[in-house]
Amino acid sequence: MRGKFITLEGIDGAGKSTHLRWIARFLKGRRIKVTVTREPGGTAFGETLRRLLLGGRQRLHPETETLLVFAARREHLDKVIAPALGAGRWVLCDRFTDATYAYQSGGSRVRWGRVGALERWVQRGLQPDLTILFDVSLAVARRRAGRKIRPDRFERERDAYFERVRKAYLRRHREDPRRVRVIEAGRGMAEIRKELEPLLLKLCP
């Protein structure tokens, strides 16, 4: 039987990585074989691209970034995600296409429809079975990152950018509420896990 494809999303500081580890353990505890991967990344090419993109040595045009993350996604789907799903493994992916809508379109203002065109090209109808969007306010994300209460001009610009990223994520939820489930991530772990469990169990055979 085909495995399930789960992606995790949220602005930086939403606690995604901690929840990812817990979800992987939870699934393994139910004897599900899990492949954990991430974007940008997941293949040797993807990891090289990740270093280039996040290393920040060169300022790339946001559309260049968009094209590059989709090029890496094509490899990732072909070499890692599709084979794992075909072998009955579940794939747990730290960020996927919704991140491109959020960061490149929401944050950096690439036209929404351009991301959609690449999504259709590269994914050919394949969508995650479940996307968990960990949503937090900017104030909580900032507090978690240990930043100052009173932001300077640079930080205010940064906040405005992340506010657009967050809004774009929520738009993805509105466009496909059945797939993209929002978890209010400003709360304690125990409460969040109580909401994650039924979402995951619903996918189990």
Closest distance to ligand TYD from the beta carbon of 88 (Å): 25
Cα 70 to Cα 50: distance, rounded to the nearest angstrom = 12
Q: Is 111 left (phi over 0), alpha (psi -120 to 50) or beta?
A: beta
Per CB under 6 A, does 69 bind ligand TYD? yes
Closest distance to ligand TYD from the beta carbon of 20 (Å): 10
Nearer to ligand TYD, 99 or 141 (CB): 99
Cα 165 to Cα 153: distance, rounded to the nearest angstrom = 19
* Residues belonging to the chain: 205
Per CB under 6 A, does 94 bind ligand TYD? yes
3, 40, 42, 46: which one contacts ligand TYD (CB under 6 A)?
40
* Tokens at 139, concatenated: 């104030």
Closest distance to ligand TYD from the beta carbon of 8 (Å): 9
Per CB under 6 A, does 19 bind ligand TYD? no
Per CB under 6 A, does 12 bind ligand TYD? yes
Nearer to ligand TYD, 62 or 151 (CB): 62
Select the span of 85-93, 98-106, 168-176, 190-198 touching ligand TYD (CB under 6 A): 98-106
Q: Is 162 left (phi over 0), alpha (psi -120 to 50) or beta?
A: alpha
Cα 9 to Cα 16: distance, rounded to the nearest angstrom = 7
Closest distance to ligand TYD from the beta carbon of 102 (Å): 8
165 burial level (CB within 10 Å; 0-12, 13-18, 19+):
buried
Could you tell me how many residues of this chain bind ligand TYD (CB under 6 A)?
Answer: 12
